[in-house]
């Protein structure tokens, strides 16, 4: 029961973080404002994926509280999806860094989405 | 000595061959089923003074009329030649295997269930109550481990007893609910008075007729005559007023019963879920599964585009250096132009996308090897079936993302001719790797920072148009319903690095080979036509290619494309890779030494024109090789011509629509 509670609490926290992040990045895409360095650079699609990850986390919460294995399913799927998206983002940042070496352009790609992409 | 024929039925991969060998030893011969090239194995053994001939039926998941294997198995059992049917069941997966068992029982066959792979079931902690299972199914159930020869003597004994003591069972029946049972009874009443049908289970015939099994309807029509057949058709119509889809309804009812049987007969098993079970809850979910599929596809394209960028730039830099070197060191103007403007610019502009091609195949291979793609097929099948595509079309469509030629060849796995034709005709709409360089080029120039999303939209547009085309074909051209999908889900596993790399290399190297052959030849032709009659350094507007392009240009004026884009499209008929190669040759020299293909295009076109051009490249005929394959697989010039005309017309209409809608939106927003 204690394990279920802690899993549910973690899932809820991650779900809320992803939801906030997804909504902000979605709205910032529609507003005519400069891209904030803390926002992901994958456009609307990535924002929607953030919201999908958030919904997977949140969907798992009540099931985890009831000790239902289905809750674990959604939590696992959310973790895997966020790990994949995070890995792609991290590789992209690495590629940008390498590209700046090749083309000589200024490298300014550090943003926070990689950390949200790989929660553990 | 008495003789008895025993048929072995079962799903694929349940150890049927091992059981056949365990029963017969080396005493067997191999032939073909009459009229087809499907292998037929027949063996024999002796037991208590009886000689048993064992006929190994093809592995099937059901006994419908959807595939050749199913028809062979079903017709053989219907023939009544086999006194006993041994249904080989994978005891670790009763849910799936009992579907065939129920169908055999509904047919009225004398069934003995061989509960195979019992050792694996025990390892998984499954405890199967054999007696309970046997009493629920009302047939003998024998646990076996065929590979070790365990339970074989018991099985022989059960076959002997079934043959000698129970010539005909009163089997369990599947209940389909009061309303449908009334209709089944009405059909049975119609069939009852016809002696030709006595050898069949009338209830089974009635159920299959209501399910719309064409082969069974033919048997019935031949036996009962027109008047009675009309009565059955009327009952079918009544059923369709009650049910959305009878096929799904009957299958659901069987699975409900299976759920009950499994629930009652598997006891003491652990409630543990494997990782596969856990993930399947989400990846096979009708909504979350679909959303995850799109999310993963986005990740694939983002990976393909952004991670490849430094490698693309490195190759681009290398080719530009090579071109400069050639220009500086070759004194003959014609030869220098051929090598630098023609070959290096042309072939180079295609080869720079090699990293993208390898990365997309790497990502898809990872997904395939992990076992995810079967789930993707599953979640897509629901939607595909509704629009009129068979579930099996997913695999050729998926192959089509690599290359349309093997995709069209992969439709050979689809048994139904109409299903196959529809799949062949929509396969070219799957965005193959040859189109990717065009997307990458234009998305990188006109949609910087949103490349992944824009490229994904091209793939989605292809899928959407495949849906529209299928609906159109099913409504007006190739009428009929598709076959349902039965798919075996492999467990998830960590991809094997060796297998993934090998797969990536095989597919990716084919792209490089094409660059060295057909694209090389194509760009040399483009160079010649874009250099003469004036010769190297002359104005490109007075070349053969300009003359050809200007003839066709008015057709594309509504989209705002100049003659060079039109020429690139015309040359793209040979192979789509040539489009970028041709653009490399046609646009690079236009702005002098400083100009690059990217900057030339950027200064010539708007994002809207670029997007409509990408859509046209996606939709119109992929390449000559694809057309040749359509001709070879359909054996019809008519369908080849149809595909060509349809795809070009569709490409034109969509490009025009994008331009019109985009222009209107642009005006509205400003």
Within-domain flag for B471: no
Residues of B in contact with A76 (CB under 8 A): 275, 278-279, 282
HSE-up of residue B206 (Cα within 13 Å, Cβ side): 23
Residue with tokens 């007969």: B265
- Residue A62 contacts residue A34 (beta carbons within 8 Å): no
**Contact: A76, B275; criterion CB under 8 Å:** yes
State pLDDT tens for residues B267-320.
Answer: 765 556 778 888 999 998 889 998 998 899 888 888 887 888 889 888 888 888
B243 CB contacts (<8 Å, ≥6 apart)? B180, B249
Residues in chain A: 120
pLDDT of B329: 87
Query: Is the domain of B121 the same as that of B203?
Result: no
Rounding to the nearest 10 degrees, give the CA dihedral for residues B624, B627, B633, B638. Answer: -140
Q: Is the ipTM reported for this complex over the cut 0.90?
A: no
Query: Is the domain of B24 the same as that of B160?
Result: yes
pLDDT of A117: 43
Query: Is the domain of B102 the same as that of B129?
Result: yes
Domain harbouring B40, CATH code? 3.40.50.300
Has residue B172 got a pLDDT over 90?
A: no
Has residue A28 got a pLDDT over 50?
A: yes
Residue numbers of A between 5 and 24 with CB closer than 8 Å to B: none
Query: Is the domain of B22 the same as that of B130?
Result: yes
CA distance to A25, A75, A112, B376, B614, per residue, from A45 (Å): 10, 21, 17, 19, 19
Query: Is the domain of B193 the same as that of B247?
Result: yes
Query: Is the domain of B82 the same as that of B185?
Result: no
Rounded Cα distance between B250 and B102, Å, is: 12
- Residue B177 contacts residue B253 (beta carbons within 8 Å): yes
Residue of B279, B298, B307 lying closest to A92 (CB–CB): B307
Asked which of B241, B265, B289 is the last residue of a domain, the reply is B265
The dihedral through the CA atoms of A11, A17, A18, A23 has a sign that is positive
- Residue B543 contacts residue B530 (beta carbons within 8 Å): yes
Within-domain flag for B161: yes
Rounding to the nearest 10 degrees, give the CA dihedral for residues B567, B568, B570, B572. Answer: 170
Asked which of B234, B265, B296 is the last residue of a domain, the reply is B265
Give the nearest chain A residue to B447 (CA atoms): A43
- Residue B14, helix vs strand vs coil: coil
State pLDDT tens for residues B175-222.
Answer: 888 888 999 999 998 888 787 888 888 899 899 988 888 888 888 888
Rounded Cα distance between B436 and B447, Å, is: 15
Query: Is the domain of B199 the same as that of B141?
Result: no
pLDDT, average across residues B384-407: 77
The total number of structural domains that make up chain B? 2
State pLDDT tens for residues B11-54.
Answer: 887 888 889 989 988 666 666 556 544 567 889 999 998 999 99
B89 bridge partner residues: B115
φ, ψ at B95 (rounded to 5°): -50, -50
Domains of chain A by residue range = 2-117
Query: Is the domain of B13 the same as that of B139?
Result: yes
Measured between CA atoms, how close is B260 to chain A, in angstroms? Answer: 21
Confidence (pTM): 0.62
pLDDT of B167: 55
φ, ψ at B306 (rounded to 5°): -75, -40
Strand order in the sheet with B39-47: B28-32, B39-47, B50-56, B2-10, B84-90, B111-116, B141-143
Domain harbouring B225, CATH code? 1.10.287.1770
- Residue B408 contacts residue B630 (beta carbons within 8 Å): yes
Query: For B110-148, b where at least 16 C-beta lie within 10 A, e where not — what string?
Result: bbbbbbbbbbebeeeebebebeebbebbebbbbbbbbee
pLDDT, average across residues A88-95: 89
Asked which of B165, B195, B229 is the last residue of a domain, the reply is B165
DSSP state of B85: E
Largest CA distance in chain A: 56
B193 CB contacts (<8 Å, ≥6 apart)? none
Residue B303 contacts A where some CB pair is shorter than 8 Å: yes
Give the nearest chain B residue to A97 (CA atoms): B310
Residues of B in contact with A103 (CB under 8 A): 313
* Closest-CA residue to B598 (of B435, B454, B447): B447
Within-domain flag for B64: yes
- Residue B113, helix vs strand vs coil: strand
Query: Is the domain of B101 the same as that of B48?
Result: yes
Residues of B in contact with A98 (CB under 8 A): 310
CA distance to A13, A68, A73, B270, per residue, from A9 (Å): 6, 15, 16, 27
Rounded Cα distance between A56 and B595, Å, is: 49
Lowest mean pLDDT among A41-50, A83-92, B88-97, B127-136: A41-50
Query: Is the domain of B131 the same as that of B203?
Result: no
Burial class (CB in 10 A: 0-12, 13-18, 19+), B332: exposed
Within-domain flag for B477: no
pLDDT, average across residues B644-654: 94
**For residue B538, how many other CB atoms are within 10 A of its CB?**
14
Query: For B41-76, b where at least 16 C-beta lie within 10 A, e where not — what string?
Result: bbbbbebeebebbbbbbbbbbbbbbbbebbbbbbeb
Tokens encoding B347? 């072939």
Query: Is the domain of B10 the same as that of B156?
Result: yes
- Residue B495 contacts residue B365 (beta carbons within 8 Å): yes
Query: Is the domain of B147 the same as that of B223?
Result: no
Measured between CA atoms, how close is B481 to chain A, in angstroms? Answer: 34
B152 bridge partner residues: none
Rounded Cα distance between B625 and B514, Å, is: 12
Phi-psi region of B11 (alpha: psi -120 to 50; beta: other; left: phi over 0): beta
- Residue B529 contacts residue B589 (beta carbons within 8 Å): no
pLDDT confidence band for A114 (50 / 70 / 90): very low
Tokens encoding B68? 């050749």
The dihedral through the CA atoms of B132, B133, B139, B141 has a sign that is negative
Rounded Cα distance between A114 and A92, Å, is: 10
B544 CB contacts (<8 Å, ≥6 apart)? B528, B529, B530, B532, B533
Residue A56 contacts B where some CB pair is shorter than 8 Å: yes
Burial class (CB in 10 A: 0-12, 13-18, 19+), A72: buried
Top-confidence residue, B124 or B154 = B154
Q: State which residues form the domain around B258.
A: 178-265
Give the nearest chain B residue to A91 (CA atoms): B307
pLDDT of A109: 46
Burial class (CB in 10 A: 0-12, 13-18, 19+), B617: buried
């Amino acid at each position: 029961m204690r394990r279920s509670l802690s899993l549910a609490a973690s899932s809820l926290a991650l779900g809320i973080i992803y939801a906030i992040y997804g909504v902000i990045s979605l709205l910032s895409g529609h507003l005519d404002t400069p891209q904030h360095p803390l926002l992901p650079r994958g456009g609307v699609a990535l924002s929607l994926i953030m919201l999908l990850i958030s919904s997977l986390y949140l969907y798992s919460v009540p099931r985890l509280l009831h000790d239902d294995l289905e809750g674990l399913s959604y939590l696992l799927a959310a973790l895997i999806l966020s790990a994949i998206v995070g890995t792609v983002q991290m590789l992209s940042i690495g590629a940008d860094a390498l590209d700046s070496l090749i083309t000589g352009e200024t490298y300014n790609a550090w943003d926070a989405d990689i950390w949200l992409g790989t929660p553990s | 000595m008495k003789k008895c024929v025993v048929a072995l039925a079962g799903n694929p991969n349940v150890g049927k061959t091992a059981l056949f060998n365990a029963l017969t030893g080396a005493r067997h011969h191999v032939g073909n089923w009459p009229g087809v090239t499907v292998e037929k194995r027949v063996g024999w053994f002796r037991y208590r003074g009886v000689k048993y001939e064992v006929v190994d039926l093809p592995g099937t998941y059901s006994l419908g009329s959807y595939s050749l294997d199913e028809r062979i198995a079903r017709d053989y059992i219907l023939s009544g030649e086999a006194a006993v049917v041994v249904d080989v069941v994978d005891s670790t997966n009763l849910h799936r295997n009992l579907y065939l068992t129920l169908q055999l029982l509904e047919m009225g066959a004398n069934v003995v269930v061989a509960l195979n792979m019992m050792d694996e079931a025990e390892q998984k902690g499954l405890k199967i109550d054999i007696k309970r299972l046997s009493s629920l199914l009302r047939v003998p159930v024998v646990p076996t481990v065929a590979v070790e020869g365990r339970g074989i003597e018991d099985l022989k004994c059960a076959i002997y007893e079934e043959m000698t003591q129970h010539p005909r069972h009163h089997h369990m029946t599947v209940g389909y609910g009061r309303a449908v049972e009334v209709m089944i009874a009405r059909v049975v009443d119609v069939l009852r008075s016809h002696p030709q049908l006595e050898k069949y289970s009338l209830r089974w015939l009635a159920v299959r007729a209501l399910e719309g099994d064409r082969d069974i309807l033919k048997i019935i029509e031949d036996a009962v005559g027109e008047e009675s057949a009309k009565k059955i058709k009327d009952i079918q119509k009544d059923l369709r007023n009650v049910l959305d889809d009878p096929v799904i309804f009957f299958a659901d009812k069987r699975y409900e019963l299976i759920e009950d049987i499994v629930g009652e007969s598997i006891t003491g098993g652990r409630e543990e879920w494997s990782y596969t079970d856990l993930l399947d809850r989400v990846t096979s979910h009708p909504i979350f599964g679909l959303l995850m599929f799109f999310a993963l596809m986005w990740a694939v394209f983002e990976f393909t585009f952004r991670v490849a960028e430094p490698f693309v730039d490195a190759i681009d830099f290398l080719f530009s250096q090579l071109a400069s070197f050639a220009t500086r060191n070759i004194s003959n103007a014609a030869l220098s132009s051929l090598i630098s403007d023609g070959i290096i610019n042309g072939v180079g502009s295609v080869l720079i996308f090699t990293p993208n091609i390898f990365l997309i195949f790497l990502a898809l291979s990872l997904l395939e090897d992990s076992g995810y793609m079967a789930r993707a097929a599953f979640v897509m099948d629901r939607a595909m079936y509704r629009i009129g595509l068979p579930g099996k079309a997913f695999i050729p469509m998926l192959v089509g993302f690599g290359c349309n030629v093997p995709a069209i060849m992969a439709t050979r796995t689809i048994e139904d001719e109409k299903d196959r034709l529809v799949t062949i005709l929509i396969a070219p709409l799957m965005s193959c790797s040859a189109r990717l360089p065009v997307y990458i080029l234009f998305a990188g120039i006109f949609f910087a920072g949103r490349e992944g999303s824009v490229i994904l939209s091209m793939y989605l547009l292809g899928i959407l148009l495949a849906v529209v085309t299928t609906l159109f074909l099913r409504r007006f051209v190739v009428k009929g319903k598709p076959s349902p999908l039965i798919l075996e889900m492999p467990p998830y596993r960590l991809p094997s690095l060796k297998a993934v790399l090998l797969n990536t290399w095989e597919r990716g190297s084919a792209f490089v080979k094409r660059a060295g052959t057909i694209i090389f030849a194509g760009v040399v032709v483009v160079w010649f036509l874009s250099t003469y009659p004036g010769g190297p350094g002359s104005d490109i507007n007075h070349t053969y290619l300009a003359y050809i392009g200007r003839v066709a240009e008015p057709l594309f004026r509504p989209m705002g494309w100049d003659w060079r884009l039109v020429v690139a499209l015309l040359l793209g008929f040979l192979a789509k890779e040539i489009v970028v190669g041709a653009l490399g040759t046609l646009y690079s020299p236009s702005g002098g030494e400083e100009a690059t293909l990217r900057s030339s295009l950027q200064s010539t076109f708007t994002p809207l024109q670029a997007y409509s051009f990408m859509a046209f490249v996606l939709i119109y005929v992929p390449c000559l090789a694809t057309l040749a394959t359509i001709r070879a697989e359909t054996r019809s010039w008519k369908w080849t011509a149809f595909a060509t005309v349809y795809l070009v017309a569709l490409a034109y209409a969509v490009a025009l629509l994008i331009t019109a809608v985009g222009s209107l939106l642009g005006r509205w927003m400003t």
